[in-house]
Amino acid sequence: MPRSHGADIDGLIQLLSRLPGLGPRSAKRAALQMLKKKDSVMVPLARALADVAERVVTCTTCGNIDTHDPCHVCADARRDRATICVVEDVADLWALDRSESFRGLYHVLGGTLSALDGVGPEDLNIAGLLARVDAGGIGEVILALNATVDGQTTSHYLAERLKASGVKVTALAHGVPVGGELDYLDDGTLAAALRARGSVE
Ligand SMILES: [Zn+2]
């Protein structure tokens, strides 16, 4: 098979095609664009990748990914520190924060309970959440889990576990399609779901 690029560039394309949203064809286009714009794109990108790769950490407080621990969200004194929004994944945290409809703190669980996949409470960052609430100063915990069966099971489990602490527990209003993931919702829908959140019994 004729090859139009050498082994090194081929390797670069292979790596790029592992990224979400980039198939082999768009990976090839991205690689070519970088090579053509070496000084303005490729070199700064390579430096940024190496820099972030070296310093990336998981926030020991909330589970966010950042180059600082505590992360920039936990360290932000202007935020409402009495409200914690619980999400499944860092992508959900980023989506909610992008929507600018929530200015409190977050807690990333790292997934949902799943009997099918053998995911139990000890596999998620639940102990960390309970510890934060037990430490005091928290007035409300908003459960912003996805509207999937596992997401809702996890939501109920957390509400039950948080009951003893006496903290107010609310959940996102899901006017969103079942199975809809937060990351894919537009900012307006996210903001509406937050505003219309209700207490969890
Ligand atoms: Zn954090």
The least confident of 13-27, 98-112, 124-138, 175-189 is 175-189
pLDDT of 176 > 70? The answer is no
pLDDT of 178 > 50? The answer is no
| Distance from the alpha carbon of residue 121 to the mean position of ligand 1, in angstroms | 21
pLDDT score, position 198: 76
Reported as a single tens digit per residue, the pLDDT across 74-93 is: 999 999 999 999 999 999 99
Task: Give this prediction's pTM.
Answer: 0.83
Q: How confident is the model at residue 179 (pLDDT cuts 50, 70, 90)?
A: very low
Dist CA 175 CA 102 (whole Å) = 18
| Distance from the alpha carbon of residue 75 to the mean position of ligand 1, in angstroms | 7
Q: Mean pLDDT in the chain?
A: 90
What's the CA dihedral at 184, 194, 112, 137 to 10 degrees?
Answer: 140
pLDDT of 193 > 90? The answer is no
Reported as a single tens digit per residue, the pLDDT across 20-33 is: 889 889 999 999 99
What's the CA dihedral at 70, 72, 77, 78 to 10 degrees?
Answer: -150
Q: Burial-class residue 192 by CB neighbours within 10 Å (0-12, 13-18, 19+).
A: middle
| Distance from the alpha carbon of residue 127 to the mean position of ligand 1, in angstroms | 15
Distances, alpha carbon 1 to alpha carbons 8, 33, 122, in Å:
17, 24, 51
| Distance from the alpha carbon of residue 42 to the mean position of ligand 1, in angstroms | 30
